[in-house]
Structure 1
Amino acid sequence: ELLTKFLKEDVFIDAEEEFVLELVTKWVDAKKEERMEYLLPLLRLVRLPLMDIESLEMIPSELLKWPEIQDAVEEAKHYNNNIPAQSLCRGERFKSRGAKPSVVMFTFSVETCAVTYQHIDTGARCHEELASSGLEAEFDSSSTVKVGNFLYRTGGYDDIVCSSVHVHRYNPRYRNWIQLADMNQPRVSHGLCASEDRIFAIGGIDHTVGEFGDEDAILSSVEVYDVRENQWQSLTDLPTGSYNQAAAYDDDCIYVSGGISADPFDSIPMSTVWKYSIQQMVWQPRTDMLYNRQGHSMTALDGKLYVFGGYTLGDNQPSHVFRDCLNSEVYDIGTDQWTEIRTIPETFSHVMRSVGLWNRTFFLFGGGSLHKYHVDE
């Protein structure tokens, strides 16, 4: 009973999952006749996907006499072998023991990559530097999105300051980055959003360095990444190219708001909102936002889109082209209406475009601090 309770309580263990399996089998073997009946219930508590492929291959045949354990081992092997699709696997058995919900912030510079964690329930915070990937400069200017318990980043500037096609995924268990299939189009300052199993890259800039200097092409192209297949496919172009827009996914539709347009007749920044039906493959205009903005966040929750931060048009002084947009708003998808919500305090300064969401609470970073917005309050 104590061993069962220990494995069910989901506490941190400073050991690999192979140790847990060995602990179970040795405990049963110590008094095999009287403990054999407990073996199957205990094996069900072993998180086989956390074991490496070599260890899975070496599991004794006597443990595989139960069909459900055979199936669990095969599932674990598939999880280890199909690395790009790991973010689609949900459930406790795929999580490290003792893992807790946290807000995670990455800091990139030319030489370092650091990560700060803040435990959501207790507020406890820790900071660590990660091993260099050699791509810190590129990461700094890329777009990011979460699928499952993994972070994806796309595009950015490469080492010669051209837009990149590269895509990487961060694994919080091993705290490392792996490279995935490249996008079809190099892009930076683009919109990025995700469903349960797909990632959508929208617009942005293709910045190149040529013989006669730098050139920027504002993109209208849109593409989708299939997490399961690890490949990109083109979708219908935006009606007008744009960059620094925000994107969100809800109910098989993509929503894009704001940004800076390739059309010189559009306002700078825009308040425009577009809806893309993935089934019908068409873009439709929706009601404009209440505020023109670019570099903002837009997050879907319960049939609504919450918009925070970004930059809006400055005052009439030549040096004030843009200023921080402290006005917040929410869009009701069903009624196609925008409503203003609580303004961001001026002390927050500029709110970054990466926003976290957990249990109906938004986490925003601005002015050197982490802030919360409670939807129900």
Structure 2
Amino acid sequence: MVSLGAGGGNSPGRQAGPGIGGCHCSKTRVSSPLYRMDEESPDGLLFKDHDFSSNLLKQLNGLRQNRILTDVNICASAWEVPCHRNVLASSSPYFRAMFCSNFRESSEAKVQLKGIDPTTLDQIVLYVYTGEVHITAERVLPLMEAASMFQYPKLFEACSSYLQSQLTPSNCLGMIRLSEILSCETLKKKSREVALKYFPEVASSADLRELCALELRDYLGDDELCGEEEKVFEALMVWVKHDLEARKRYVQELFKQVRLQYVHPAFFYHFIASDALLQTSPACQAILETAKRQVFSLYGTSAPDLKPLCHVPPRNSYQDFLILLGGRKDSQQTTRDVLLYNGQTSQWQDLAKLPTRLYKASAVTLHRNIYVIGGMAVRSGKSLACPNVYIFSLKLNQWRLGEPMLVARYSHRSAARKNFIFSIGGLGDRQEFIGSMERYDSICNVWERMASMPVGVLHPAVAVKDQRLYLFGGEDIMQNPVRLVQVYHISRNTWFKMETRMIKNVCAPAVVLGERIVIVGGYTRRILAYDPKSNKFVKCADMKDRRMHHGATVIRNKLYVTGGRRLTSDCSIEDSDAFDCYDPETDTWTSQGQLPHKLFDHACLTLQCIPHTSTFP
């Protein structure tokens, strides 16, 4: 006899006999595919049969199929399905209320269900008895409606997940309407994400033209919309003209959703400002006049009777990309490479190469494009100063030829302000010193001569802040540092100069960082921040090396410095592949790694753009 009480057990060397089902009563575990003892307690073992419930459902489904112990027929029109009341009541609150309350269905042999077809009824019953259902494109909608009506939330979400997997730009607006009818928030959220992310494709769909005014306003005003403002305006006008008489009264309210600050000026003047429908609305005309004077005018004047155009940030879909282009690579000849840095992955990506090799060209960003201006090019074996302008679109990853400058120049400096580009100084074909400045008007697509700088310099640090263009330092024709700040008043087309002992930079970039202009190195490690309002310089944390011919740009209020040449402790010159970041809040530098190769005399720019989604995954 085997004792199972406390302190009982087999004597040493004696084997216990088999228990019920072949399970020994010693501490030896017997593994089984059907059950296992998971938890040991002072009073024994807790037995868990993990397949019991699924086996029970299978047995119940077998009884149902053979009409054994079934006590109700649920019907869809003339179609009847025998079931067990207790199984249905256990599966959903809907059937629990039907069969466990004082409704007449609780005692009827047949229960007629409205709003469901026979095929869907079969699928619901199969789900109740097996926990399985096959969702297809043809059956998903009636199945989802039935899951909502009979209160099967997991089946409802499974149908929602299936529909989400079928989303495309052509059907997402229809899916939003469907999600509202079915009160499905997960489907609505995903459909809206697709509609916003693939806005250009969605804007051309017939579904957009069927939106009501409030829906369109909510859609076009969303910060997450991935599309240029030109596309937003075009979508608005297509919607209005689809039913002009009924919809023209909404033009004023909907036009406010177009963020005019980020529209290309040529598009603004040629398509928006001249639109006949907008001209019929006094309120729209006032918005246009304000935009003309405050956004697209270089002089920023505003009439006293016009309300200021409220500042609206760019949509969240815009991203800042760091771009490097041209320069001298690994001490070799001038490169045509164009590189994009992805801050999220810390990876460099090759873009379309420059159309030609340009030595000491200048480059700026304007209207989501890069303008590469002038430089020295080799033609027929001769090096010649070039007046050409090449324009790069990140969205298309393509270059095109722009309007050439009036004067061919290289080793010059360029800066952009609103709709204009200023190109200053440099050298000509015969290496003659050029003190002139010219300005490009992107609206009229012309270059025009402006006032020349007071003192001709090469390689100054250049930046634009508010209504003024600043030239810091540089060198004269004898390569001596010039301790000057030369300031150009843009609206007056006049210059003035200030002497200062703080300036001694050559071949250094300058950037606008917050309210200050930062001069980055230039044969020195020193970083100077200039406050135009107080006309004072402040020293920032030094760079690690004495640096020149490097690039610098600002992304999200941080300064990034790339490549260049550095002076070693023994005054020799080395090319650099350094990639560093300065944080003005902490006044500290951190390394971002290395460039793909050593590089100097290159352009380093920040380009704000919406990533192009050419295909829907």
Please report how far the alpha carbon of residue 187 of structure 1 lies from its aligned counterpart in structure 2 after TM superposition.
1.0
* Corresponding residue for residue 376 of structure 1: 585
Please report how far the alpha carbon of residue 250 of structure 1 lies from its aligned counterpart in structure 2 after TM superposition.
1.6
> Counterparts in 2 of 1:310-325, with a 5 A limit?
310-311=522-523, 325=524
What do the CA deviations read for 1:117-175 (whole angstroms, capped 9, x no partner)? 222xx353241241x5532x02x521112224322221101233211111222222112
Please report how far the alpha carbon of residue 307 of structure 1 lies from its aligned counterpart in structure 2 after TM superposition.
0.4
Q: Does 1:331 align with 2:530?
A: yes
Take 2:440 and 2:209, find their aligned partners in 1: how far apart are those partners?
A: 46
Residue of structure 2 aligned with 1:127, choices 345, 349, 370? 349
Contact 1:193 1:201 survives alignment (8 Å): yes
Contact 2:208 2:239 survives alignment (8 Å): no
Counterpart of 1:114, as a letter, is: V
Please report how far the alpha carbon of residue 9 of structure 1 lies from its aligned counterpart in structure 2 after TM superposition.
5.1
Residue of structure 2 aligned with 1:62, choices 239, 242, 245? 242
Counterpart of 1:62, as a letter, is: H
Change in Cα spacing, 1:12 to 1:290, as seen in structure 2 (3 Å) is farther
Contact 2:373 2:390 survives alignment (8 Å): yes
TM-score, normalised via structure 2 length: 0.46
Q: Does 1:363 align with 2:560?
A: yes
What do the CA deviations read for 1:257-305 (whole angstroms, capped 9, x no partner)? 222213x5xx712232111223443322224252422110112344432
- The Cα RMSD (Å) is 4.1
Take 1:10 and 1:358, find their aligned partners in 2: how far apart are those partners?
A: 28
Change in Cα spacing, 1:166 to 1:10, as seen in structure 2 (3 Å) is farther
Residue of structure 2 aligned with 1:40, choices 189, 205, 216? 216
Partner SS for 1:20:
helix
Partner SS for 1:40:
helix
Change in Cα spacing, 1:126 to 1:196, as seen in structure 2 (3 Å) is same
Contact 2:472 2:503 survives alignment (8 Å): no
Take 2:235 and 2:525, find their aligned partners in 1: how far apart are those partners?
A: 53
Partner SS for 2:378:
coil
* Corresponding residue for residue 518 of structure 2: 306
Change in Cα spacing, 1:38 to 1:188, as seen in structure 2 (3 Å) is same
**Which structure carries more strand by proportion?**
1
* Corresponding residue for residue 146 of structure 1: 365
TM-score, normalised via structure 1 length: 0.72
Residue of structure 2 aligned with 1:184, choices 402, 406, 409? 406
Contact 2:457 2:482 survives alignment (8 Å): no
Q: Larger radius of gyration, structure 1 or 2?
A: 2
Take 1:332 and 1:37, find their aligned partners in 2: how far apart are those partners?
A: 47
Q: Does 1:277 align with 2:489?
A: yes
Counterpart of 1:354, as a letter, is: G
Partner SS for 1:241:
coil
Contact 2:461 2:505 survives alignment (8 Å): no
Contact 1:286 1:336 survives alignment (8 Å): no
Please report how far the alpha carbon of residue 41 of structure 1 lies from its aligned counterpart in structure 2 after TM superposition.
4.4
Residue of structure 1 aligned with 2:392, choices 163, 166, 170? 170
Change in Cα spacing, 1:143 to 1:303, as seen in structure 2 (3 Å) is same
* Corresponding residue for residue 315 of structure 1: none
Contact 1:309 1:352 survives alignment (8 Å): no
What percentage of residue pairs aligned between the two structures are identical? Answer: 16
Take 1:4 and 1:126, find their aligned partners in 2: how far apart are those partners?
A: 36
Q: Does 1:20 align with 2:202?
A: yes
Contact 1:204 1:220 survives alignment (8 Å): yes
Take 1:144 and 1:285, find their aligned partners in 2: how far apart are those partners?
A: 25
Contact 1:259 1:270 survives alignment (8 Å): yes
Count of aligned pairs between the two proteins:
332
Contact 1:49 1:80 survives alignment (8 Å): no
Of residues 296-305 and 169-178 in structure 1, the stretch that sits farther from structure 2 once superposed is 296-305
Partner SS for 1:306:
strand
What do the CA deviations read for 1:190-243 (whole angstroms, capped 9, x no partner)? 12112122211111111x2xxxxxx21111101111222221121111223222
Contact 2:509 2:552 survives alignment (8 Å): yes
Residue of structure 2 aligned with 1:293, choices 505, 510, 518? 505
| Structure 1 gap ranges (5+) | 30-34, 209-214, 312-324
What do the CA deviations read for 1:80-103 (whole angstroms, capped 9, x no partner)? 9969xxx97x9889x8x9442232
Contact 1:145 1:152 survives alignment (8 Å): yes
Change in Cα spacing, 1:51 to 1:281, as seen in structure 2 (3 Å) is closer
Contact 1:199 1:226 survives alignment (8 Å): yes
